[in-house]
Amino acid sequence: MTETRKIIEREVLMNGTQAVANAAMYADVDVVAAYPIRPYTEVMDTISKLIADGELDAEFIVAEGEHGQFETVKHASLVGARTLVGSSGVGWLYAMEAIVVTATDRAPVVAIIGNRALDDPGAYGVEHNDAMMVRDVGWLLAWVDTAQEAFDTTLIAYRVGEDPRVLVPVGISMDGGFLTHSEQIVRLPPKELVKDFLPPYNRGKYLVHPDNPITVAPQVNEDWVMEIRRQHDEAVERARGVIVEAYESFKKVFGRYPGSTSEIEMPENPFVEPFMIDDAEIVLIGMGTVSKPMKVAIKKMRNQGYKVGMLRIRWFRPFPTQDVIKYLSQAKVVCVIDRDYSIGSPNRGGVIYHEIRSSLYDLDQRPKVLNFIGGLGGREITIQDVEKIIKIGYEHRDTPITKPVYWVGVRGDPW
């Protein structure tokens, strides 16, 4: 006999960072390391208050810099503590050495990245290049779109990262300002259900403890490093299946698909969010909150007869190659909106653009791919911008691409 239970969720108004902090509290984290940099900081403001109020029992370390911040959680994680950490922009880069070894030491810490432009020149608005710095070093990376998704993905991050088949750190990226600082209704499930979804963190034979005297990260040089890199790559690959399991389990335990609420309907695919894509000739691709103007513009343009849809990437690592192929192979033109750039790259485009093009390369009949770099440093990508992108994409249905990369709304550059 299956028991059906009525799940009563609490509705709370909170922004993306607060949602992550609350999820970490639900996950009963043991060690939190903080160091301020906007716009991620509020996650730590919230956590410290939760600890002060006795809602969370955890050690709260204020580090001396981001490098120390990430070293602290790495070592806490290796001795079996569930940890939360995070940063933004150049702070994230200052910690990069520690961030890389967190992955190579297979410490499943969860980090929030409030995406921010890189200095110089100083800017605190969103740009995805900070988080992109770890795309090649073995972190799992998710880009969330709403505070609800931030909350749900944080719980999933602990479940996936700490899975013995994975043991890899997870980064939850969110658009600085647009999501870190905008308040939305978040549905909080009953806390007692969390233990049904999230088992305790158990490092097993990799635990650092006097009862288990192992040596972590000895020097290996050419003797073993290739095998270790390969194992790491295989763990990230295994994460695909574990992510699917986690999303299904989430739905089973909490009664709704991660990211979705009664107001937000979320297609049941952990890796991508397709929108009006079934018959679309033009498909827009983006990550994070850019989906908002995209969705509005798509609805508007659909009324004018444009066959346009959207694919939002939710998990950037592991990259959803199969989903990209599945949803894009029938499209005529793919317009990738990058909130990042890869200066000096092939075609001088953005990072997602190159990943998408690479994913589609082996198809016999592949769509044309256009790239739009926009919204850097926190500049808004407006509905009008997206409409223009759709029109440019539409023009290229039957004409060859002469200009593959556009910069959206740069002064003095008629795009």
Partner 1 sequence: MVEKEIEEKVYKSIVKTIKDAPLEEFYTSGHRTCQGCESALVMRFLAKAAGPRTIVIGATGCMYVANTTYYTTSWIVPWVHTQLGGSGAAALGTAAALRALMRKGKIKQEPINVIAFCGDLGCADMGLSGVSNAMTYNYNLVIVLYDNESSANTDIQETSMTPYGAQTSFSRPGKQRRIMKVRWKKSVVPMIIAGHRNVKYAATMTPAYPLDSINKFRKALAIGGPTFIHSLDPCPKGWDYDPKFSHELGVLAVETGIWPLYEYINGEIVYNEPTKSIIEGRIKRKPVKEYLEKQGRFSHFTEEDVEYFQKMVDEMYEEWEIPAVMPIKSVNVKISDK
Give the residue, chosen from 10, 49, 165, 209, that forms a contact with partner 1 under the rule CB under 8 A: 209
Q: Which stretch binds partner 1 (CB under 8 A): 142-150, 165-173, 182-190, 218-226?
A: 218-226
State in angstroms the smallest separation of the CB of 77 from partner 1.
8
- Report, in Å, the least distance between residue 63 CB and partner 1: 6
Residues 333-372 that bind partner 1 (CB under 8 A): none
Tell me the window of 1-9, 14-22, 217-225, 338-346 that interacts with partner 1 (CB under 8 A).
217-225
Residue 178 DSSP class: T
Give the nearer residue to partner 1 in terms of CB position, either 44 or 277: 44
The minimum distance between CB 108 and partner 1, in angstroms, equals 13
Cβ pair 179, 273 in contact under 8 A = no
Minimum distance of partner 1 from residue 103's CB (angstroms): 13
In the complex with partner 1, the residue whose CB is nearer, 82 or 379, is 82
Query: Does residue 385 touch partner 1 according to CB under 8 A?
Result: no
Instruction: Tally the C-alpha atoms within 13 A of residue 339's C-alpha that lie toward its C-beta.
Output: 31
Do the beta carbons of residue 159 and residue 167 sit within 8 Å?
no
Binding mask 86-115 for partner 1 (x = CB under 8 A): -----------xx--x---x----------
- CA–CA distance, 184 with 200 (Å, rounded to integer): 30
Q: Does 36 bind partner 1 (CB under 8 A)?
A: no
Helix (H) or strand (E) holding 175: strand 170-175
* Cα of 59 vs its chain's centroid, Å: 26
Q: At its nearest, how many Å lie between partner 1 and the CB of residue 84?
A: 12
CB 143 within 8 A of CB 317: no
Alpha helices in 221-366 (DSSP H): 225-254, 291-303, 321-328, 351-360
Contact between 200 and partner 1 by CB under 8 A: the answer reads: yes
- Which residues does residue 217 pair with via DSSP β-bridges, in sequence order? none
The nearer residue to partner 1, 192 or 398, going by C-beta atoms, is: 192
Task: Categorise residue 204: left if φ over 0, alpha if ψ from -120 to 50, beta otherwise.
Answer: left
d(CA 195, CA 405): 47
Q: Map residues 52-91 to x or -, x wherever contact with partner 1 holds by CB under 8 A.
A: -----xxx-x-xxx-xxx-xxxxxxxxxxx-x--------
Confirm if 90 and 131 have CB atoms less than 8 A apart.
no
Give the nearest distance from C-beta 174 to partner 1 in angstroms: 25
Residues 120-139 as x/- pattern, contact with partner 1 by CB under 8 A? --------------------
The tokens describing 269, both together, are: 């695919």
User: Restricting to residues 260-319, which ones interact with partner 1 according to CB under 8 A?
Assistant: none
Is the CB of 227 or the CB of 279 nearer to partner 1?
227
Task: Write the CB contacts of 153 (distance below 8 Å, at least 6 apart in sequence).
Answer: 142, 144, 172, 258, 259
Helix axis angle for 96-104 and 66-78, nearest 10°, is 20
Minimum distance of partner 1 from residue 112's CB (angstroms): 18
8 A C-beta contact, residue 79 and residue 59: no
Residue among 225 and 363 whose Cβ is closer to partner 1: 225
Find the binder of partner 1 among 13, 165, 191, 212 (CB under 8 A): 212
Strand partners, 112: 86, 172
Residues at the contact surface with partner 1, assessed by CB under 8 A: 28, 30-31, 33, 57-59, 61, 63-65, 67-69, 71-81, 83, 97-98, 101, 105, 200, 208-210, 212-220, 223-224
